[in-house]
Structure 1
Amino acid sequence: MPDQHVRGPYSSSSAAGASAPPPVPPRLPPPVTDRTGMAIGLMCATAFIFALQDGFSRVLGQAYPPVLVVMFRYWFFAAFVIALVARQPGGLKRAVRTKRPVTQILRGVILVLEVLIMVEAFVRLGLVETHAVFTAYPLLVAALSGPVLGEKVGWRRWTAIGIGFVGILVILQPGSGVMRIEALLPFAAALMFALYGLLTRHVSRDDPPMVSFFWTGVAGAVAITLVGIWDWQWLAPIDWIWMAGLCVCGMTSHYLMIRAYEMAEASALQPFAYTQLVWVSIIGVTIFGEVLRPNVVVGAVIVVMAGLFTLWRARVKSTG
């Protein structure tokens, strides 16, 4: 949804975000002091705010073209990015200078497209089913890390990837007569978010995190404006309140996420990003009247457990 999942635009191999689960920023320098407990608290708060953000996206997406909703959201997000980056050493002059401009622009376009697909999925499928399928993105990251980054994926992670896709089949129930083509939307979004994360790792070899952050927000805002401006319309007065909530949630969640990753390593925090699925389920059932089908619960548990295993194996490989 990933701005996640607008989710937000920081990401790596492991995270949510789209508007999707909280995305993980590029690798930051090791924390000076161990404040992992506080960082975990911030990550859990981030996951909750991202869930609220997805709720706002669904409300607005039901009343207006999703491309218009995402365009407004990205305008505010780009302003937030520019203001934040301007306060960093070197300011905007440093942020503009990238060694991989084509890849940086591609990242921004992929992420904004992923967010757009997630909003469409929220409207068509609901929050619960969309996020249940989207939780497969860490598995897709592991599967694509070989062809995209040339990394070696061992048999244990391939086994976890296979089990995770069994969980997706449990959620989607192909051949049962209840599967709709719309159910493939969150899977497509997860695939894009995984590719975005891998490209983020790729550019992080040459560009610092704030450069990638800047290009994600600005490139995404320009791309969605070129498409969304043709669906321009003014929002109803009450809907500006929902839009304000959406934008405030987006800025707040990304700020808290950045602070969390300044305090602790991504491998320690990423499992807590899955708490967004819990909050999304509560919001979907209590506010939007969605049904928590047993196959969705079982499938989501399988996918999350497989994803946690791939994250653990990646951590073991990096420290071993």
Structure 2
Amino acid sequence: MKIAPAAAAAAPAPQSNNIPLGIALMLAVTVVFALQDGISRHLAGEYNVYMVVMIRYWFFAAFVMAVAARKAGGLRAAARTSQPGIQIFRGFLLAAEICVAVLGFTILGLVESHAVFACYPLMVAALSGPILGEKVGWRRWTAIAIGFIGVIIILEPGYGVFDPMAIIPLVSAVMFAVYGLLTRYAGRRDRTATSFFWTGVTGAIGMTAVGAWFWEPMAPGDQLWMALLCLTGASGHWLLIRCYEVAEASAVQPFAYFQLVFASALGMAVFGETLRTNVAIGAVVIVAAGLFTLWRERQKDLEPDA
């Protein structure tokens, strides 16, 4: 679905706090990643998901290494870590999550996939206790419970025969939340550049080991779409890194939910998807709960019992 939001969790400490510019950059990020998801949906509908994600990762790894090479110490400094096991697992987990997310796009479409995936900040809050040992107060637990009511509204488990495929974006959200928490954990000892480097390189290695077995010739027109997919990935990363350099994460993070809006609009306009009433209601519930959780995250330093 999106590599960069997780990378953003470990983005460099902001050197300024230009909130208007940060918001503008975050909105640009959501547009770019919505386009990326739309292109992924098209290509994965024509070719094997593993191959599409593998090629996307090749370009991402090249971008990561180019960024690392320009910094002090070069590639060797970026790769230096005291916790290679965690870094490798993070990279493989994110690659697997992207495969699951893209599969969800092809089966359920962009609208429903993004509506369910929007619950991942709630999962981050719920899992921060067992994974990071952070305290989650009753207010945030209430928001988490309300958010999952929104997921249930979207999935409609009580109406007719429940489609197990509807669980795919929920699995993707769980995987992405765990990845984000492991990124935060790794960031206690590793630099941002290190986590970013391992994310791209290990993901590319893992996807090549899998995707090479599913290689298919690609039509010339789709080669252009593949090139655009790679370009949106790199440009989205750059925009997000820049966003977190110029503004505080807590100030711009709520605007990341606009990806749900843009991706849904793309799904309806290009792929003929429809926005069912239950999906719209559930998405509103999830986003509201997520925004409250982000607000409580911002307040917890002032209120230790948050």
Give the TM-score, by structure 1 length.
0.93
Share of identical aligned residues, percent?
55
CA contact (8 A) 2:4 2:236 kept: no
Q: Is 2:115 the counterpart of 1:120? A: no
- Which residue among 110, 116, 134 is the counterpart of 1:151? 134
Shift of 1:178: 5.4
CA contact (8 A) 1:165 1:303 kept: yes
Higher relative contact order (CA 8 A, sep 6+): 2
- Tell me, in whole angstroms, the C-alpha distance in 2 between the residues paired with 1:52 and 1:157: 32
Match of 1:67 in 2: 50
User: Which aligned pairs between 1:284-303 and structure 2 lie closer than 5 A?
Assistant: 284-303=267-286
CA contact (8 A) 2:13 2:244 kept: no
CA contact (8 A) 1:25 1:258 kept: no
Letter in 2 for 1:107: R
Show structure 1 runs of 4+ deviating over 6 A. none
Q: Is 2:196 the counterpart of 1:222? A: no
Q: Which secondary structure state, in structure 1, belongs to the residue aligned with residue 223 of structure 2? A: helix
Q: Deviations over 1:90-146 (max 9, x none)?
A: 110101111110000000011000000011000000000000000000000000000
Letter in 2 for 1:316: Q
Match of 1:26 in 2: 10
Q: Deviations over 1:135-179 (max 9, x none)?
A: 000000000000000111000000000000000000000020253
Give the TM-score, by structure 2 length.
0.97
Give the total of aligned pairs: 303
Shift of 1:25: 3.0
CA contact (8 A) 1:137 1:191 kept: yes
CA contact (8 A) 1:57 1:69 kept: yes
| Alignment gaps of 5+ in structure 2 | none
Letter in 2 for 1:29: A
Letter in 1 for 2:13: P
CA contact (8 A) 1:146 1:153 kept: yes
Match of 2:214 in 1: 231
Match of 2:3 in 1: 8
Match of 1:19 in 2: none
Shift of 1:234: 2.0
Q: Is 2:182 the counterpart of 1:187? A: no
Match of 2:300 in 1: 317
CA contact (8 A) 1:10 1:213 kept: no
Q: Which secondary structure state, in structure 2, belongs to the residue aligned with residue 177 of structure 1? A: coil
- Higher helix proportion: 2
Q: Deviations over 1:38-72 (max 9, x none)?
A: 11100000000000000000000000010110000
CA contact (8 A) 1:134 1:189 kept: yes
- Tell me, in whole angstroms, the C-alpha distance in 1 between the residues paired with 2:154 and 2:5: 28
Match of 1:161 in 2: 144
Match of 1:50 in 2: 33
